[in-house]
Amino acid sequence: MTLEKTQTRSRPPVAQGTKPHKLGIYWTLGDPTLEETLAIAQALVDEGVDLLELGLPFSDPLLDGPLIQQSHHRVTTAGTTFNAVCSCLQQVTGYAHKHGTEVSVMAASQLLYDNTRRAALPTVDGLLITDISSHKMSPFPMPSPRVYFVSQEVVLSPAFKGLPNEPMSMIYLTRVQGITGAGQEASATTARAVAKLREWSQLPLWLGFGISTPQDLAQCMAAGADGGIIGSAFLAAMLPHVLASKGGGSKVPWREVVAEWLAPFRAANTG
């Protein structure tokens, strides 16, 4: 999905003949506050990020590394409610869609276990429930198309029988074995897993976990993926601003901060 240039976006033209590196960024909704989440999201959209992967804050984020765990902890201990998070998500999604950025939500099943919760969640492009077995259908009606979340080991095992038959927006394939965290080594099996998934599905295929640098993102593309999602590495770079903001410091110039962090990725995309 190559985006049309609009006046507010600063995405530069893609070099002739190359496939654009699609970039997704993970952020925990409500970190450090709902207002700042909106500002960060707007900055990412304005700077041309293709996908926002937004986490619903949870008391027990099981498979996230320490940085993302702490982001959940900041938000839940601040007493941020689900309804307030939904309002923020509605605003973020509205802005993102106006400017051509996709929005997916990432949530533990516990948070969306009952009907009223699912009904209250704003409609987004994709919904990733972090604890549903990859060989199972979604156990409850999904308010947005499912993001198919699967690990490489599962895809490469002989027992893999393709995707469950239900509406899906994209595939999120874990890039490395393990939990989220910046700087994990690339797995040589990634390309095989991507290729095997392509035999089963034409959905957009994103890689996530352990992606930190433009080189990592380029490896994702080389492995045949459509894009890569960065979580901990972005959060690590934003963390000093997040903590300063929580400590009551002056307003963070998120657009500048985000643009500066994104610059190497942009350069790599046009090089």
Partner 1 sequence: MATPMFDEDNDTFVPPLLEPALAALREGLRSFLADPQQRMALRAELESFAGRPTPLTVAHRLGSTWGGRVLLKREDLLHSGAHKLNNALGQCALAKYMGLGNVLAETGAGQHGVATAIAGARYGLRVTVYQGATDVARQALNAQRMRLFGATLLPVEDGAGTLKEAVNAAMRAWVRCWQDTAYCLGSAVGPAPYPRMVREFQRVIGDETQAQLERLEIMQPDALLACVGGGSNASGFFTAFVDDPKVQLIGCEAAGAASLVNGQPGTLHGMESLILQTADRQVSETHSISAGLDYPAVGPWLASLKESGRLTPYAITDREALQALRECAELEGILCALETAHALAGAKRYLAKHRGATVVVCISGRGDKDLGIIGDAS
CA distance 228 to 151: 15
Nearest CB to partner 1, comparing residues 208 and 214:
208
Site for partner 1 in 173-212 (CB under 8 A): 174, 177-179
Q: Which residue from 132, 194, 235, 238 is in contact with partner 1, where contact means CB under 8 A?
A: 132
Site for partner 1 in 53-82 (CB under 8 A): 58-60, 62-63, 69, 73, 76, 81-82
- Closest residue by Cα to residue 105 from 166, 170, 45: 170
133 binds partner 1 (CB under 8 A): yes
Q: Quick one: CA dihedral 44, 210, 74, 56, positive or negative?
A: positive
- Closest residue by Cα to residue 171 from 143, 189, 190: 190
List, in sequence order, every residue forming a beta bridge with 106; answer none if it has no partner: 55, 128
Q: Site for partner 1 (CB under 8 A): how many residues?
A: 38
Closest contact distance (angstroms) between CB of 58 and partner 1 is 7
Q: How far apart are the first and last CA of the chain?
A: 20
Closest contact distance (angstroms) between CB of 169 and partner 1 is 17
113 binds partner 1 (CB under 8 A): yes
Nearest CB to partner 1, comparing residues 10 and 76:
76
CA distance 93 to 218: 27
Region near partner 1 per CB under 8 A, out of 20-28, 97-105, 150-158, 251-259 = 150-158
232 binds partner 1 (CB under 8 A): no
Region near partner 1 per CB under 8 A, out of 24-32, 40-48, 145-153, 222-230 = 145-153
Query: DSSP assignment, residue 157?
Result: S
Closest contact distance (angstroms) between CB of 113 and partner 1 is 5
CA distance 66 to 141: 31
140 binds partner 1 (CB under 8 A): yes
List, in sequence order, every residue forming a beta bridge with 104; answer none if it has no partner: 53, 126
105 binds partner 1 (CB under 8 A): no
CA distance 143 to 121: 8
